[in-house]
Amino acid sequence: MLSNDHIDAFKNITGPKGIITGADEIAPHVKEWRGKFFGKTDLMLAPATTDQVSQIVSYCNDHKIALVPQGGNTGVVGGGIPGLEGRNEVLITTKRMNKNIVVDADDYSIIVDAGCTIQSVQDAAAEQDRLFPLSLASEGSCTAGGVVSTNAGGVHVLRYGTTRALTVGIEAVLPNGQIYSDLSSLRKDNTGYALNQLLIGAEGTLGIITKVAFRLYPMEKQRYTYWLGIDSPATALKLLSSAREITGDRVSVFEILPELGLSLVLNNIPDTAAPLTAPYPWYVLMEVATTTRDNSLQLTLDTWLEAMMQNGLLLDGAEAQSEAQRKAFWKLRESMSEAQKYGGGSIKHDISVPVSHVPVFIEQTFTALEKHFPKCRPMPFGHLGDGNLHFNVLQPEGTNKEDFLSEWSSMNALVHDIVTEHKGSISAEHGIGTLKREELARLKDPAALAAMRTLKAALDPNNIMNPGVLFK
Ligand SMILES: Cc1cc2nc3c(=O)[nH]c(=O)nc-3n(C[C@H](O)[C@H](O)[C@H](O)COP(=O)(O)OP(=O)(O)OC[C@H]3O[C@@H](n4cnc5c(N)ncnc54)[C@H](O)[C@@H]3O)c2cc1C
């Protein structure tokens, strides 16, 4: 319980609007949407300016009060939830820091407050005929500060990179309260350590991001969207390689989905329909996008698809003939996570391996899973173009859900060990949070881990910034 002196001090900094103590108002901020993490706090601070954030952090550093930053609370690894494991922490939300969005169309950049949603960043860019390519299902709620802090990925990484590639400048409050300002949209700057890069993916452990400068791109004017039926991930890899070549690297989406996932969607999610007349072992959702209206690309793609059918790589395929049909294809992909709930309990992995390793990785992991967890039903799906799979495993049919879920850690260890053999990552998109700290400690390169701890101790000697995250 924080003393009234502390609460008065915070009130002096933010004014009454920035102090939230009502349990009802705090409640949605102390639980994660997947229902896996439930925390608690007596106080949520909602500063409106960078200066207020700086004063709050400085005060907390002086009084050794721990802070947990939160943006849209769409994270899934327990990184933005205060009070987990009995810690006393104050929540600091950026929800009032969402007023400023400035587009510089000629500079292909946009500078935004940390609390702006990704949807609002996309919309502001689009108004000036520019593309902000970060796109993820949580974009209506997740924030600029949140995506930078988790280095979010989404469906366009293949073409435009992760948030790290899209971030050109950051303003942040460091754990001692100092304002670090590198908010320009400079593309070239070789003046020593790039602190920006440390803050990206730091999950709120090295400071609070208050503003971000993002890179923009020319607006995509034409999209070709395909739903393809194939026999295996190895074929998907060949198609990806070849499609990148013939389109001049204009493939912007390349997602792989198993038949098990599609059938769960079709059987359980309303208003969905199979794009192809027969089922196939695997499917690809592919999108090619151009910034010009270019009919020659359509011809190139038609010829390519015909050749792929003839050589037997492609078993069947459909091209979206309208925006409505395109959305229908996307609905199948986006419903995958929800649909798997109808298959019973599932154990999740958010992994990546080098793109060319994906087929072998899937094969090896399927074999190992069958040996150790007979009849479990692996359902990997996602961003083949980035080597990133949501490698979820459903319980065997007719078995007890709780028994199956009790294998969570041992199954994670088995899958993560194979990932590590391939020099992959145990967290491709969602971060470490509190969920994967043990696995990070077990599998991260010891030299990297030691350097991370040294950096944390140097920048945050009182361990006030998100103390339970990344390290135990
Ligand atoms: C339906 C759905 C789909 C998703 N799809 C994807 C996807 O495709 N790809 C992907 O990568 N992720 C995805 N996610 C995960 C999530 O949306 C991202 O992790 C997002 O980046 C979190 O942003 P947020 O603003 O909600 O951050 P929060 O959830 O509030 O916080 C996430 C982490 O960042 C820290 N943080 C937040 N704001 C700041 C700040 N201003 N300064 C410092 N630290 C801060 C928090 O302390 C926490 O550790 C998805 C989530 C959902 C619910």
Ligand 1 site-directed mutation target among 50, 53, 116, 136, most atoms within 8 Å of CB: 136
Query: What is the CA(207)–ligand 1 centre distance, in A?
Result: 16
Measure 152 CA to ligand 1 centroid, in angstroms.
7
* Residue 425 CA to ligand 1 centre (angstroms): 18
Residue 209 alpha carbon, nearest atom of ligand 1: 42
Q: Is 195:182 a contact under the CB 8 Å cutoff?
A: yes
Please state, in angstroms and rounded to a whole number, the distance separating the CA atoms of residues 4 and 8. 6
| Nearest ligand 1 atom, CA 143 | 25
| Buried residues in 404-440 as b, exposed as e (16+ CB within 10 A) | beebeeebbebbbebbbebebbbbbbbbbbbbbbebb
Please give the model's pTM, rounded to 2 decimal places.
Answer: 0.95
Distance 150 CA to ligand 1 centre (A): 6
Residue 295: what pLDDT? 82
Give residue 209's pLDDT.
Answer: 98
Question: What pLDDT is recorded for position 436?
Answer: 95
Atom of ligand 1 nearest to the CA of 137: 3
Print pLDDT tens along the chain (472 aa).
788 999 999 999 999 999 999 999 999 999 998 788 999 999 999 999 999 999 999 999 999 999 999 999 999 999 999 999 999 999 999 999 999 999 999 999 999 999 999 999 999 999 999 999 999 989 999 999 999 999 999 999 999 999 999 999 999 999 999 999 999 889 999 999 999 999 999 999 999 999 999 999 999 999 999 999 999 999 999 999 999 999 999 999 999 999 999 999 999 999 999 999 999 999 999 999 999 887 889 999 999 999 999 999 999 999 999 999 999 999 999 999 899 999 999 999 999 999 999 999 999 999 999 999 999 999 999 999 999 999 999 999 999 999 999 999 999 999 999 999 999 999 999 999 999 999 999 999 999 999 999 999 999 999 999 999 999 8
Determine the pLDDT at residue 417: 97
Of ligand 1's listed atoms, the one at least distance from the Cα of 145 is: 41
Distance 74 CA to ligand 1 centre (A): 5
Q: What is the pLDDT of residue 2?
A: 87
